[in-house]
Amino acid sequence: MSGIVVIFDFDKTIIDIDSDNWVVDELGATDLFNQLLPTMPWNSVMDKMMNELHLQGRSIEDIENVLKRTPIHPRVVPTIKAAYALGCDLRVLSDANLFYIETILKHLGIRECFSEINTNPGFVDDKRKLRILPYHDFHVFSHGCTLCPPNMCKGKIVERIQAELAKEGKKRIIYLGDGAGDFCPSLKLGGNDCMMPRKDFPVWDLICKNRKLLKAEVHEWTDGEDLERVLLQLIGKMMLMEDENTNQMFDCKFETIAHEVLPKPLYVP
């Protein structure tokens, strides 16, 4: 295990499109979705849409089949496998839902590369209907962050991860994302961490306008090929620095030992 934790957003980061839009569009429910969107939070619209699709006779298998056809850049899966093989701790942090994400990651054969999926609950109920619920139940309490949608503050989740990492002695985070919801967590990253915003996407615009608010190094990327290049380079650099730190400790010890063993220098008066 290296001391590097890589946190991936899901929509338009791991996969090339937005999974909610993909399912709604592919199952022909775009008009209703657009009608509902101004009336309630996105996450609540999705739960309502799943109910609607169920009433229209769409099955869980229909949704799964759409998810398995999700467009993804051909370099993303090999990159995730490579980062995992290098010993990085990979996690998902997404405002999609657990059902979509697990279905897609299992289909791609990379579910086991991730130690954690932080997202909105998504499950099949006893009527074989997909339910999508908020990560933070905003009917009960507000997460209090004005940057984020009511159902999920990714910044709060990153802070929880950071508190755990501090206990485990893991040191550095690389965060990849594209959306406005990825801006709040980017503000929580420290000076040793790296933020990888997708170029010309909302989080990149927000970072460009507020560059001074970020402590982390910023490395932009454009597509799956670029993601592979930038991410593996950063991991390589961080691992080299870890090695150097270990070697430095070894050097110090060696010096102490050498000092004791070697003959004392001869002082000529």
178 binds, among Mg ion, Zn ion, none (CB under 5 to 8 A by kind): Mg ion
Q: Does 228 bind Mg ion (CB under 5 A)?
A: no
In terms of DSSP bridges, do strands 122-124 and 130-132 run parallel, antiparallel, or are they unpaired?
Answer: antiparallel
149 binds, among Zn ion, Mg ion, none (CB under 5 to 8 A by kind): none
Residue number with CB closer to Mg ion (2 or 13)? 13
11 is catalytic: yes
CB of 262 to Mg ion, least distance (A): 58
Q: Does 89 bind Mg ion (CB under 5 A)?
A: no
What residues make contact with Zn ion under the rule CB under 5 A?
145, 147-148, 153, 155, 184
Calculate helix-pair angle for 76-85, 224-261, nearest 10 degrees.
10
CB of 216 to Zn ion, least distance (A): 16
Stretch that binds Mg ion, among 71-79, 84-92, 177-185, 202-210 (CB under 5 A): 177-185
Residue 18 assigned ligand-binding role = no
CB 110 within 8 A of CB 135: no
CB < 8 Å & 24+ apart, contacts of 194-199:
194/218, 194/219, 194/234, 195/219, 196/220, 196/221, 196/227, 196/230, 196/231, 196/234, 197/221, 198/12, 198/13, 198/222
Residue 226 assigned ligand-binding role = no
Residue number with CB closer to Mg ion (12 or 54)? 12
Contacts with Mg ion, 3-22, as mask; x by CB under 5 A: ------x-xx----------
| Amino acid, single-letter form, for residue 217 | E
CB of 155 to Zn ion, least distance (A): 4
CB of 12 to Mg ion, least distance (A): 4
CB 17 within 8 A of CB 178: no
54 binds, among Zn ion, Mg ion, none (CB under 5 to 8 A by kind): none
Residue 204, both tokens:
């990149």
Residue number with CB closer to Mg ion (178 or 228)? 178
Residue number with CB closer to Mg ion (9 or 228)? 9
Residue 233, both tokens:
């380079």
Residue number with CB closer to Zn ion (122 or 185)? 185
Best CA proximity match to 97, nearest among 20, 181, 38: 20
CB of 152 to Zn ion, least distance (A): 8
Tally Cβ neighbours within 10 Å of residue 13.
26
Residue 196, both tokens:
């990888």
> Contacting Mg ion (CB under 5 A), which of 20, 89, 178, 228?
178
CB 9 within 8 A of CB 176: yes
Best CA proximity match to 93, nearest among 34, 32, 179: 179
Instruction: Please give the distance of CA 23 from its chain centroid, rounded to a whole number.
Output: 21
Residue 11 assigned ligand-binding role = yes
Kindly list the residues in this chain that would bind Mg ion in the complex (CB under 5 A): 9, 11-12, 178-179
> Could you give the residue numbers annotated as active site?
9, 11
Binding residues for Mg(2+): 9, 11, 178
Q: Which residues are annotated as a binding site for substrate?
A: 20, 95
